[in-house]
Amino acid sequence: MPLFANPDAHATLLSALELQISQSFGDSKPDVIVGLDARGFLFGPGLALRLGVPFAAVRKQGKLPGPCVTAEYIKEYGKDLFQMQQDAIKEGQKVLIVDDIIATGGSAAAAADLVHQLKGQVIGYLFILEIPGLNGREKLSAPTTILIENP
């Protein structure tokens, strides 16, 4: 991935994401950043560090240790399961879900289901890009921000 081979470009991406969060939420920043398997892991932890909040991982079934909650989602070629550790989110915490791309919205909606199972509050979604024409945003129940809009 050329972006991650260039520290300046990587830092610029994190700065742009941080600015987007500041503009969207002001002083009401998230309590937790949740990143989706797998590319949400590439920038989610760095973003959480910049904001001074924890990072929580959403992974495919069987990849996380300890007790987990599970949610099913539909992919282009079938169903899959996401999991999150039961202690990743505390009741009432404000959560921002991040990933690189939104397509159909199924995986992001499943991540929100996991947050809700843990009694967290999804305050928004943040993606770098959107695949146009798949209407993924329509499946999401909180404000959705796309960093780079496709004209």
Tens of pLDDT, residue by residue over 21-36, are 999 999 899 999 999 9
Mean pLDDT of the 1-8 span: 88
Q: What would the DSSP string read from start to end of 99-150?
A: EEEESSSHHHHHHHHHHHHTT-EEEEEEEEEE-TTS-GGGG-SS-EEESS--
Mean pLDDT of the 70-79 span: 89
Prior bond of 108 cis (ω within 30°) = no
Q: What tokens were used for 90? A: 């505390």
Share of the chain above pLDDT 70, in %: 99
pLDDT surpasses 70 at 1: no
Residue 77 confidence (pLDDT): 79
Residue 58 confidence (pLDDT): 99
Mean pLDDT of the 110-136 span: 97
Instruction: Report the predicted TM-score, pTM, of the whole model to 2 decimal places.
Output: 0.96
pLDDT surpasses 80 at 66: yes
pLDDT surpasses 70 at 40: yes
Mean pLDDT of the 102-127 span: 98
User: Under a CB-based contact definition with an 8 Å cutoff, are residues 55 and 36 in contact?
Assistant: no
Identify the structural domains of the chain with CATH numbers, from first to last: 2-146 (3.40.50.2020)
List the catalytic residues. 39, 76
Residue 17 confidence (pLDDT): 97
